[in-house]
Amino acid sequence: MINLYLAAEEGATEHNPIIPIWQEIVVGSVAFAVLCFVLIKFVFPQMEKTFRARVEAIEGGIKRAEAAQAEANELLEQYRTQLAEARTEAARIRDEARADAEGIRQDVLGKAREESDRIIAAGNEQLAAQRESIVRDLRAEVGTLAVDLASKIVGEALADEARTRGTVERFIADLDTTATGRR
């Protein structure tokens, strides 16, 4: 046991851990150089490229989304103005229709009034004509009646006042009956 310890202690003087072994320096340098060469030349630039592509893809996506949003907003605005236009148009049409209806009503009313006036006028005219003809007939009849009456008066030689009065009354009554009978 002690011998082995001693051997180990003797061995310890053989190597100093703080003094590098030059063969290992060579191996380490070459190995690390190879690693650096491969990674820095082939792998990491590729990664940077991918990172950039990813950033661009994301930014492009955002840009596209923004464009779509803007387009949608524009369309919405357009639809809104169109809707407003349609509303005003509809209101205008309604107003016009109302105005038209009013006009038509006035028209119809005027026509009706005219018609009624015309009818009334026609009635009046007819009435006047009838009256005229009646007056004409009466006038003719009154003439004959007067002649009749005069002949009667003359025929009966006017006996007394009482008879005369009676004659006249009879005449008038006669007149009345003929007038009513004519009607």
Partner 1 sequence: MVIGQSTVLAAAFPPSVEDFYLPSILPWGAHDNYWFTKVTLLVWVAVAAIIIFFLWAYRKPQLVPTKKQWMAESAYGFVRNNIAVDMIGPAGVRFAPYLTTLFLFVLVNNFFGIVPLIQMSPMSHIAFPAVLAVISYVMFIWVGMRHHGPLKYFKHALIPPAPWFILPLLIPIEFFSNFLVRPFSLAVRLFANMFAGHMLLLVFTLGGFAMLNANVLLAPVSVLSWVLTIALTLLEFLVICLQAYVFTVLTASYVQGSLADEH
Rounded least distance, CB 1 to partner 1, Å: 7
Binding letters toward partner 1, positions 31-70, x by CB under 8 A: xx-xxx-xxx-xxxxxxxxxx-xx--x-------------
Residue type, 94: R
Cα dist from 177 to 143, 180, 183, whole Å = 16, 5, 10
* Contact region with partner 1 (CB under 8 A), list: 18-26, 78-86, 88-96, 168-176: 18-26
Tokens coding 80: 């809104």
Cα dist from 4 to 12, 13, 14, 16, 26, whole Å = 12, 15, 15, 20, 33
| CB closer to partner 1 out of 26 and 99 | 26
Say how far apart CA 4 and CA 145 lie, in whole Å.
190
| CB closer to partner 1 out of 49 and 111 | 49
Q: What angle do CA 62, 63, 66 make, to 5 degrees?
A: 85
* Contact region with partner 1 (CB under 8 A), list: 25-33, 63-71, 95-103, 122-130: 25-33
| CB closer to partner 1 out of 34 and 119 | 34
| CB closer to partner 1 out of 57 and 150 | 57
Rounded least distance, CB 62 to partner 1, Å: 15
Tokens coding 170: 């009879």
Tell me phi and psi for residue 182, to 5 degrees: -70, -35
Site for partner 1, rule CB under 8 A: 1, 4, 8-9, 11-12, 14-25, 27-29, 31-32, 34-36, 38-40, 42-51, 53-54, 57
